[in-house]
Structure 1
Amino acid sequence: MGQPLNRHPYIQILLVAVVTAIAGEFKINPYAGDIFRIGLGSSAFLLFLLLFRHLPFILTGVVTGVSVLLFRTGLDLAGTDFTILEIVTRHCSAMVYYIVFAVLMRVIKERMDGFHPLVLGAVAAVIDLLSNEMELLTRLLVLGTTSFRLNEWTYLMAIAMLRTYFTTGLYSSISVSQLRLVQKEQNRRMEQMLGFGSGLYGEVFYLQKSIGTLEQATLDSYDLYRSLKDGGELANSRQVLHITQQIHEVKKDSQRILAGLTKLVDREVTGDMPLSGLLRFTVKSNQKYADMLGKNITIIQQTTSDYATASYIPLLTLLNNLTANAVEAIKDTGIIYLNIYEKEDMTVFTVTDSGGGVNDRDRELLFEPGFTTKFDDEGVAATGIGLSHVQDIVRLFEGKITVSNAPYAGGAMFKIAIPTKNLRKEE
């Protein structure tokens, strides 16, 4: 495969030269005869220099000037009876214009990013005017033409201002469009990172719990082995010891996996995020989830507290889990309310839906591992670890989660209250 175009600056310089030479033939003649021509070549050349900052300006100006001279010479040779010397003499001033223009643009090249668009347009107009003066001086020396009257110089300056402001305005529009595309791509990658981080955090959290369970299982198994051995049941004790060793190996493998995942989380998930950002991401991701399920669900968010937190990934895990459950609880059409506010020294998160609510008999078992009220079309139960997961994370932050029915919405309301000091990023 070929290399990208920006790795071949000489091809770009040639492209600039050719396009400028062709654009220069689309022109107007503000003065009688063919003494001075104002064409689109100047605007095209300025636009190229603004867009291709990495090119060597002076070399680009020389190549462009020579190309314009050769192009116009070729056209005149094909359509007039002038000699080649006469033609070159008539058009050499155009070559001077592009060279001088490029040299002056090189002078301000390092400072262009700091110019306001209006200032950049004014500076470019001055450069255009000076380049035109050098072109006229060249014509005066070579062809012996006289200088222009004052009103003609004024008109020339007006043309320079109009041409450069049009070009810098076009350049600014292109730059804004590029920035919007870059921002859109950054937002897309941020959403992917947040979704990845939220899911990965949940897996890491439960792997940590599993390792603790395996550790306890290893201890219990070893105690059983000692008991059987002391009781003289050697055959059974050896079998239990073998099981203990296997559990221990699984625990070590899990620890190695956990170490790798933890490093990945630390690398991918850094910085902080305002609480309003958590809600925006939660709404966007779960709106897509609702659309995927073919449900017409409106998600309404409200934030009365909007401090920054470094714990946004576990909070996203909580909100995504509860909001996804709310989406699943709504049959076809409904509303979900997401709310964040502070009450005394607690930050409160609520997720309320217009689904069927929670039965009183299920409320005490709702956060138990393995409990579920969700079954698919074939009657197969869901894993039921979601709300247990949520409760464990809430406890990790020394918080509390409660569930109740919401009469105003018609469904369930999950409320999470976490000490603000455990979430707020210190200034």
Structure 2
Amino acid sequence: MNRNTILKILIIVCVTAFLGELKITPFNSSFRIALGSAGFFFLLLYYKDVPYLLTGFVTGVLTTLFRTGLDSFYFNDFSFIGSFLTHSPIIGYYLVFATILQFTKRKCGSISPLMLGFFGVLSDGIANIAELLLHSAINGVPFMFSNIGYVFIVAVFRSFFVIGLYNSIESNKLKAIYVEQRKKFEEIQTILSELYIEGFYLEKTLTDIETITRKAHDLYQELKKLEMPVELTRSALLIAQEVHEVKKDNQRIKAGLEKLIAEGHIVKPVSLKEIVNVSLKANKKYSKSLGKNIEIEASVDVDLKVQSIYPLLIILNNLITNAIEAIDETGFIQVTVRMLDSNIIIEVLDNGPGIDPDEQDVIFEPGFTTKFTETGKPSTGIGLSHVKLMVEKLDGSIQLQSSPVQTAFTITLPIKNL
């Protein structure tokens, strides 16, 4: 038995012994109805890995010694043996209680709260009867069959109180676990959406590298036909070989990215509302990190589950992020998702300063930007180019409407491609 198990048993003993003093004595004897058994039942449920029989026996013995010790302070004519025998029937109570629960645990495994409450009542009631019988045998207290009904009534209230408390705590634990897992899920999906776009560009780069390799090899063949100097033809061949090695390295990187994305990918389709919520939560945090007071809301009037999670996250994240950065201090961003015929329409509207008419034709070009750092360094200008690439990948279209007081991007995506 390890130290952790011993500590749990000691906790059960201490709590049970203390709560056992919150009692009533209904039968004019040393028999008591107390909260100790409720605490014992609750802690056995909470500490599922403790040995029930050993715990019941130890709890009974130490509780008896605890009560005997208390008697030594309260009674002048204290007798250790007499006091110990008076309280010793409680050993039978906890041992019988633990035995029934142990049997239930082995035979039933995971059971419903209602059935667990029933077995709790059974354990408590039978254990109390066993304690009364031991009282009768050891202390000469007459056993009254009329008391059995009272014992089981108390057992019902006590057991279902424990089950209610236990289920409430377990429910809160599950909620906390769900919230934490949900947070990790959202963070992972955001990261994977970034990896997805990197993989997309890497695939495009591989095509370019293949073209360069072919051109370098063609140059080598042409120089060889023209009987150019050996050093020159070898240089052309070497360039083709080195570019080919770069291609193989990029292929390995791409394969690693695809494996990582596949491992973190959601197998089941996800609702559009859930995808929008993931994006909104991440961007609300981003807005706060910039010290801006921006109200970000969404209206999703589509009950549709899709597989194209990452392209949609890339589209939403970039459009909302751009809107946040465009707004000076305070403002609002409204995301609307609706269905029109066989298409999904996504609109991201903000009340930022708008986009200059002269720039509207080039905002989707890679490298174009109107954003600069405090040191005057321009941003990468690839956010909207990401959006355009993803929209085109899904055979969709994107439109811009902008005025000095608001900007709206409207994206049309065929449902069949989602």
TM-score normalized by structure 1? 0.89
CA distance in structure 2 between the aligned counterparts of 1:9 and 1:128, rounded to whole angstroms? 24
CA distance in structure 2 between the aligned counterparts of 1:83 and 1:359, rounded to whole angstroms? 97
Partner of 2:260: 264
Partner of 1:142: 138
Letter in 1 for 2:240: T
1:40 is the counterpart of 2:35: yes
Deviations for 1:298-354, whole angstroms, at most 9, x for unmatched residues? 112111112111211221112111111111111221111111122111122221221
Contact kept in structure 2, 1:6 and 1:12, CA below 8 Å = no
1:413 to 370, 383, 408: 408
Give 1:285 deviation, angstroms: 0.5
Partner of 2:15: 19
Partner of 1:201: 196
Partner of 2:95: 99
2:182 to 187, 203, 217: 187
**The residue matched to 1:413 in structure 2 has which SS?**
strand
Q: Return 49-58 or 232-241, whichever deviates more.
A: 232-241
Q: Return 11-20 or 276-285, whichever deviates more.
A: 11-20
Partner of 1:220: 215
Q: Return 163-172 or 307-316, whichever deviates more.
A: 163-172
> Structure 1 stretches of 5 or more lacking a match?
none
1:297 to 262, 277, 294: 294
What does residue range 244-393 of structure 1 map to in structure 2 within 5 Å?
244-271=240-267, 272-393=269-390
Contact kept in structure 1, 2:113 and 2:163, CA below 8 Å = no
CA distance in structure 2 between the aligned counterparts of 1:334 and 1:8, rounded to whole angstroms? 55
Give 1:84 deviation, angstroms: 3.7
Letter in 2 for 1:71: F
Contact kept in structure 2, 1:352 and 1:406, CA below 8 Å = no
CA distance in structure 2 between the aligned counterparts of 1:258 and 1:208, rounded to whole angstroms? 7
Give 1:97 deviation, angstroms: 0.6
Contact kept in structure 1, 2:129 and 2:148, CA below 8 Å = no
1:29 to 25, 29, 35: 25
Give 1:42 deviation, angstroms: 0.7
Partner of 1:211: 206
1:9 is the counterpart of 2:1: no
Letter in 2 for 1:294: G
1:177 to 149, 172, 181: 172
Give 1:100 deviation, angstroms: 1.0
CA distance in structure 2 between the aligned counterparts of 1:85 and 1:321, rounded to whole angstroms? 80
Task: Count how many residue pairs are aligned between Structure 1 and Structure 2.
Answer: 414
Letter in 1 for 2:290: L
CA distance in structure 2 between the aligned counterparts of 1:386 and 1:166, rounded to whole angstroms? 57
CA distance in structure 1 between the aligned counterparts of 2:329 and 2:248, rounded to whole angstroms? 46
CA distance in structure 1 between the aligned counterparts of 2:144 and 2:412, rounded to whole angstroms? 80
CA distance in structure 2 between the aligned counterparts of 1:292 and 1:217, rounded to whole angstroms? 43
CA 1:367–1:237 in structure 2 vs 1: closer, same or farther (change >3 Å)?
A: farther
Give 1:31 deviation, angstroms: 3.7
Contact kept in structure 1, 2:401 and 2:407, CA below 8 Å = yes
**The residue matched to 1:363 in structure 2 has which SS?**
coil
Q: Return 275-284 or 380-389, whichever deviates more.
A: 380-389
Partner of 1:68: 63
**The residue matched to 2:348 in structure 1 has which SS?**
strand
CA distance in structure 1 between the aligned counterparts of 2:73 and 2:251, rounded to whole angstroms? 81
Partner of 2:121: 125
CA 1:357–1:227 in structure 2 vs 1: closer, same or farther (change >3 Å)?
A: farther
> Structure 2 stretches of 5 or more lacking a match?
none
Q: RMSD in angstroms over aligned alpha carbons? A: 2.5
**The residue matched to 1:362 in structure 2 has which SS?**
coil
Give 1:75 deviation, angstroms: 3.7
Contact kept in structure 1, 2:401 and 2:408, CA below 8 Å = yes
Partner of 1:395: 392
Q: Identity of aligned pairs, percent?
A: 38
CA distance in structure 2 between the aligned counterparts of 1:201 and 1:6, rounded to whole angstroms? 47
CA distance in structure 1 between the aligned counterparts of 2:21 and 2:137, rounded to whole angstroms? 24
